[in-house]
Amino acid sequence: MGIAELLIKVALVVIIFLISLVIAMYSTYAERKVAAFLQDRVGPDRAGPFGILQPLADGGKMFLKEEIIPTNASPFLFIAGPSLAILTACIGSAVIPWGQRLTIGAYTFNLQVTDINVGLLYIFGVISLGVYGVMIGGWASNNKYSLLGAIRAASQNISYEIAMGLSIIALLMTTGTLSMRHIAEQQSGFWHGHWFTWNAFSQPLGFLIFIICAFAETNRSPFDLPECETELIGGYHTEYSSMKMGFYLFAEYINMFVSSAVMATLYFGGYNFPFMHHLGLSENWVSILGVIALFIKIFAFIFFFMWVRWTIPRFRYDQLMDLGWKVLIPLAIANIVITGIVITFFK
C-alpha cells in the first residue's frame, strides 16, 4: 500500500467518523422535531434559526454537568460502560460501502474503509458487542433499576440476534457472498431482466424480520424496555450523569445510523439508484450521486425509526420475548426454507 492510498484511507476514516458523529448529533435534534411535528407542536426553535444550534447547546450542557460516580459503584467498569458503548457504535461503519469507486487524478479508490470478505459477520460481531456497554454500565452502577435494565437489554439483544441472523442467512443464500461491497454491486440499478434488483423485493419477509430485529437491537421503541422510564427510571443509565450519559444516548443514535446504513445496503440497493446506467454521466458523477442516494435512504430509515417511536406503545416484556422466540425465529426459518425451495426449483 502506497503512502497516497494510506492517506486516502485515513481521510476516509476521519470523514466517516465525523459524518456519523454529526448525524448522531443532528438525530437528537431531528428526533425532537419529528416528535413535535407528529404531536402538532413546533419543537426546539430557540437556539439559532429553527433551533439548529440545539445539539451544540445540549452538548455544552452535557459537558458542564457534574460528573457523579456513585460511592458503591465500581469506578473502572462504570467508566468502561459508556466508552465501550460508543466505541462499538463507531467501528460498525467501517465495512459499509458508501459509494462506487472514485477517480481523482491517477488514483482510483473505493468509497469504503475496508472491503473484507466477512463484512456482514463483522457487523454482526460489532453489533453484538454493543450490548456489553449496556450490561457493564448497568452492572457497575450497583443499582437495582440499572441491573434490571441491563438484564433486559442483554436478553433482548440475544433473542433478537438469532432471528436477525436467520433472516440474513436467507439473504446470503440469494447473494452467495458476505462482502458488503459485492452485495451492493449485485443490486446495481433498479430493474434487471424481469424483476427488481434490490433485495427488499426478493426477500420481503426477510426484510420485515430484519427491520423488526434492528429496532430491537438499537433499543428503540417499541423495544426500548432496557431504558423504559415508567418502570425502571432510566434503566441502565439511571446512575449516569454528564457526558457519560451523553455517550450512551449518542451511542444509541450512532447505532441507529449504522443499522440504517446496513439496512439500506443489504436490502435497499445501497448506493444504487434507478436509471444509474442510463444517465450518460461519467463514472465519478454516478459515484457521487450514489453516495447521495445512499444517504437519502439512510435518512429515510432514520425518519422511519423516529416515526415508529412516536406512534407505537412499548411492548410488555413477556410479549417481547414471545415475539422474538415464538414468532420471528420460526418465521425466519420458514423464510430460509422458502428461499431454498425457490432457488432449487426455479433458478
Partner 1 sequence: MEPLSNKRKVLEAKPMTFLERIYLPAIFQGLAITIKHFFRKPVTIRYPEEKREYSENFRGLHSLKRDEQGRERCTACGLCALSCPAEAITMIAAERQKGEENLYREEKYAAVYEINMLRCIFCGLCEEACPKEAIYLDGPHVQSDYLRKDFIYGKDKLVEAPLNQ
Point out which residues bind partner 1 (CB under 8 A). Answer: 34, 36-42, 45, 307-308, 310-312
Question: 7 or 42: whose CB is closer to partner 1?
Answer: 42
Give the count of beta carbons closer than 10 Å to the beta carbon of residue 144: 11
In angstroms, give the least distance from the CB of 164 to partner 1.
18
Count, residues in the chain: 347
Q: What is the spatial distance between Cα 256 and Cα 306, in angstroms, rounded to a whole number?
A: 10
Residues 6 or more apart whose CB falls under 8 angstroms from that of 112 comprise 12, 95, 96, 97, 98, 99, 180, 181
Residue 46 or residue 278: which is nearer to partner 1 going by CB?
Answer: 46
User: Looking up cell 430460509, which residue turns up?
Assistant: 336
The C-alpha atoms of residue 219 and residue 201 are separated, in whole angstroms, by 26
User: Toward partner 1, which CB reaches closer, 117 or 311?
Assistant: 311
The helices-and-strands tally (H runs, E runs) of the chain is: 13, 4
Q: Which is nearer to partner 1, 39 or 344 (CB)?
A: 39
Cα separation, 337 vs 347, whole angstroms = 15
Q: 200 Cβ partners below 8 Å, 6+ apart?
A: 207, 267, 268
Beta carbon of residue 211, minimum distance to partner 1 (angstroms, whole number): 12
Between 34 and 85, CB nearer to partner 1: 34
Task: Tell the smallest beta-carbon distance from residue 47 to partner 1 (Å).
Answer: 14
Report in angstroms how near the CB of residue 311 gets to partner 1 at its nearest. Answer: 5
Q: What is the nearest approach in angstroms of partner 1 to the Cβ of residue 34? A: 8
